[in-house]
Amino acid sequence: MGRYLRRRIIISISILFVILLILFLLMQFMPGSPFNDAKLSEEQVASLKESYGLDKPVIVQFFRYIGKMLKGDLGVSYSIAPNTPITSLLVNRFPVTLRIGFLSLIFGTLAGLTLGLIAAFFRSRIIKVIFNILTLLGIAVPSYMFAMFFSWTLGYKCNIFPMLYDFRSPMFSSAMPILALSLSVMAVIGQFTRSEAEDVIKSDYVLLAKTTGMKSSTIIIKYILRNSLIPVITVMASLLVSLLTGSLVIEKMFAVPGIGGLLTTAISSNDYSVVIALSFVYSALYIVVMLILDILYCVVDPRVRLGGKPS
């Protein structure tokens, strides 16, 4: 297990390095520059570039960037908040995005697992139809549609939840963004859990467990749930991507002061260093979660734990 983990961590770090390199190069190909202002003379632009170190060769810029980044310095913003360190832009926003994202993932997963198991166990026609409609909706309808629907119903008509994010009650006002984001997670996890649990229920080892006279609760927890979880963990990784991209739009709709809104603004105003920093934060977030999922995998499935070594 230790060896496996060490290997996974080294791989993750190298992936992050490659991502950073690609991001950096892509930025060079972007049209325009942060100093796209007709009022600036060429000399002024040149001196601005010099003061930010943008006149150096790309490769030098890249390594200087990495060197500073390791010290926790992500550079400064050029245009949206001139000369503000990006780290200070992130400090307040990142936790908000993180909280909404993880709560959506956890809430969606738990709800999906529960619904999927229910659908696998009670195989009446009505439950099947309701389950299929719900999950299909969840998969097909993008999260911003749910967001609009919830703001109109729960927010505007019923006045249950605030329609915009509020600093004074961060949890309560995050309810609708979390709900909107978690529905697709719930639908996908639900579908996977159901089909997997149906297979596991029919498997020989569950039948055998039944013939030993074990309690149903033991069979469900130790035999069915655990084995159904394995593929669900795999899906969670890909769900995270849709969660992250979804959060970009959702944050905007509910005026959530997270990094999603910051990223969209930075892209439209050509603020290189902010775009790179945020894209990197998103990638890192993704890779860290993948790592966590891999560890979870080890915990749930002993076959992974042994690192594929034949016994």
Partner 1 sequence: MSDIARIVLEVKDLKVTFRLPTGDVHAIRGLDLTLEENEVLALVGESGSGKSVGVKSFMGILPDNAVIESGEALFHDQDQTVDLLKMKDSVRRKNINGTKIAIVFQDPMTSLNPTMSIGAQLITVLRSHKKIPKKEAYARGIELLREVGITDPERTMGQYPHQLSGGMRQRVVIAIALSQDPKLLICDEPTTALDVTIQQRILELLQSIQRARGLSIIFITHNLGVVSKIADKVAVMYAGKVIEKGTVFDIFYDPRHPYTWGLLSAVPELSDSKQELYSIPGTPPDLSKEITGDAFAPRNPYAMEVDFKAEPPMFKLSNTHYAATWLADPRAPKVDIPPELAERIRKMKQEAKDYAEG
Tally DSSP H helices, then E strands, for the chain: 14, 0
Please state the separation of Cα 122 from the chain's center in Å.
32
End-to-end CA distance of the chain: 15
Site string for partner 1, 227-266 (x = CB under 8 A): x--x------------------------------------
Q: Provide the β-strand partners of residue 85.
A: 76
Sole window of 55-63, 78-86, 200-208, 245-253 interacting with partner 1 (rule: CB under 8 A): 200-208
**Judged by CB under 8 A, does residue 301 bind partner 1?**
yes
| 3-class DSSP string for 22-64 | HHHHHHHHCCCCCCCCCCCCHHHHHHHHHHHCCCCCHHHHHHH
Task: Pick the binder of partner 1 from 40, 123, 128, 152 (CB under 8 A).
Answer: 123
In the complex with partner 1, which residue's Cβ is closer, 78 or 223? 223
- Of 2, 57, 72, 302, the one binding partner 1 by CB under 8 A: 302
Taking a C-beta distance cutoff of 8 angstroms, is the pair 97, 259 a contact? yes
**C-alpha closest to that of 276 among 263, 288, 285, 286:** 263
197 binds partner 1 (CB under 8 A): no
Q: How many residues does the chain have?
A: 311
Our CB check for partner 1 shows the closer of 32 and 310 to be 310
Least distance to partner 1 from the beta carbon of 200, Å? 10
Interaction of residue 205 with partner 1, rule CB under 8 A:
yes
What residues are paired with 76 via a beta bridge?
A: 85
- Which residues of the shown chain bind partner 1 in the complex (CB under 8 A)? 123, 202-205, 207-216, 218, 222-223, 226-227, 230, 300-303, 306, 311
